[in-house]
Amino acid sequence: MYPRMNLWTDMKNRDEIGIALLGFGNVGSGTYEVIEENFTSIKEKVGVKIYVKKILVRDLNAGRRVKAPAELLTCNPEDIFKDPSVDIVAELLGGLEPATEYMIRALDSGKHVVSANKAALAANLPQLLDAVERSGRVLRYEAAVCGAIPVMDVIDRALAANKISGISGIVNGTTNYILTRMGEEAADYASVLADAQRLGFAEADPSGDVEGFDAANKLSLLIWQAFGKYIHPDKIARKGITELGLADIDAAALRGNKIKLIAQADDGPEGVEASVAPREVPADSFLGRCAGEYNAVQLDCDMAGPIFLMGKGAGPRPTGSAVVGDIISIARDMRSGV
C-alpha cells in the first residue's frame, strides 16, 4: 500500500545521496535547515552524507527566511530531472499543478520522490501510484499528514498486522491553533489567523485550512493508508471553522467541552464514511487536550486496540523533520540494497 521497491542494488556502496528540493517556502526551508543542522548526526545514523544539490524556486532574487548558496538555486525544473547526482526529489511546492506533473516527471526520470503536498497527493493519488509502478521508484509522503507525527509509517510498519476500522483526529494545525487561542485568550479570529500565517502553519491560501479542505486532503491519505481504499477529498463531507465564534467556544466550555475540527472515518460493512467538521469533545479527553498547532490521531485497530499519536502538525521544522525522515528511510534502503 505504501510502495516499497527493491531496485536499489545499483546504489550499493554509495557514500553520498543527492537531494533536490522543489520549493523553498516554509516546508522547503524547514527541510533545508534540518538537513544542514543535523548533517553530522544523520551521516552517523545512515552511513551516507545527504547533500542538497539543487533547489527549485520561482524567483532567484526573492527574499527568503533561510539562506542557501546561490549556486543551488534554479528556476528550471529540467536542471533537476536531468541531474544524475540527484537521487531523491522532495516536492514541497503545494497546490495541484505543476506539483503533480513534477512528481511524475521526477519518478519517470528515475528519482525517488518525497512529498509534503497533501492537496496534490490526495487529488491525484491514482496517477501518482501508476507512475510509481511504471518507474519502479518510491514515493513517500509522511510529511503530508499531521506534520511531524509519524502516522503513515506507524500504519505501514508497526500496525501492519492489524485491520484498522476507524480513524479520528485533529489533522490541521492552523485551525487547532486558532481554536485554542480563541478559547484560552478570547483572541480575535482574524489576528490569530494572521499569527498562524506568520508562524508558517497556514497554507498559502488559508481558506484551505479554515474551510476544512486541508483536513479533507489529509483524511483521504489516511483512509488510503489505513483502509487501503481511495476516496477523493471532494467526496468527503466537509465543514470548516469559519462560522464559529467566541460564544460557541464559551458555551462548549460551560459543558466541559472544547470545539475541535475533527477528521473522522469509519470502514464499515456499508463502506467508508468520512467527514471533517467542528465537533465538541470532552476537554480532558485525548483530542480535547491537543492544543495549539499540535495534531492528534486515534487509530482503532483489531489486534492492538486503540493507538493514540500526538505531536506538532504544522510549522517548517516539524514538517521538515518528516520530510527528512522519509529521505533517510529511502537512503537507508538504498544503502542496504533492500
Instruction: State in angstroms the smallest separation of the CB of 27 from ligand HSE.
Output: 8
Interaction of residue 30 with ligand HSE, rule CB under 6 A: no
Interaction of residue 314 with ligand HSE, rule CB under 6 A: yes
CA–CA distances in Å: residue 176 to residues 31, 172, 184, 208, 338: 23, 6, 12, 14, 40
Task: Tell me the pairing of strands 49-56 and 73-74.
Answer: parallel
Q: Where are the alpha helices (DSSP H) in 92-239?
A: 99-108, 118-135, 151-153, 173-185, 189-198, 207-210, 213-227
CA–CA distances in Å: residue 56 to residues 43, 92, 109, 219: 24, 10, 16, 28
Residue 10 makes CB contacts below 8 A (sequence gap 6+) with none
> Which window, 131-139, 242-250, 251-259, 312-320, contacts ligand HSE (CB under 6 A)?
312-320
Interaction of residue 209 with ligand HSE, rule CB under 6 A: yes
Residue 270 makes CB contacts below 8 A (sequence gap 6+) with none
Confirm if 50 and 17 have CB atoms less than 8 A apart: yes
Is residue 12 among the annotated active site residues?
no
For residues 159-198, which are near ligand HSE according to CB under 6 A?
Answer: 172-174
Confirm if 292 and 280 have CB atoms less than 8 A apart: no
Interaction of residue 214 with ligand HSE, rule CB under 6 A: yes
Interaction of residue 275 with ligand HSE, rule CB under 6 A: no
C-alpha span between 113 and 97 (Å, rounded) = 16
Decide whether 172 or 275 has the Cβ nearer to ligand HSE: 172
Interaction of residue 202 with ligand HSE, rule CB under 6 A: yes
Decide whether 86 or 123 has the Cβ nearer to ligand HSE: 123
Instruction: State in angstroms the smallest separation of the CB of 116 from ligand HSE.
Output: 7
Decide whether 214 or 300 has the Cβ nearer to ligand HSE: 214
Sign of CA dihedral 60, 88, 322, 94: positive
C-alpha span between 59 and 74 (Å, rounded) = 9
Interaction of residue 147 with ligand HSE, rule CB under 6 A: yes
Instruction: State in angstroms the smallest separation of the CB of 72 from ligand HSE.
Output: 25
> Which window, 75-83, 181-189, 202-210, 243-251, contacts ligand HSE (CB under 6 A)?
202-210
Per-residue b/e over 249-266, b at no fewer than 16 CB within 10 Å?
beebeeeebbbbbbbbbb
Instruction: State in angstroms the smallest separation of the CB of 193 from ligand HSE.
Output: 11
List the catalytic residue out of 53, 111, 118, 218.
Answer: 218
Interaction of residue 313 with ligand HSE, rule CB under 6 A: yes
Give the interface size with ligand HSE as a residue count (CB under 6 A): 12
Active-site residue set: 218
> For binding to ligand HSE (CB under 6 A), which residues are involved?
147, 172-174, 201-203, 209, 214, 313-314, 319
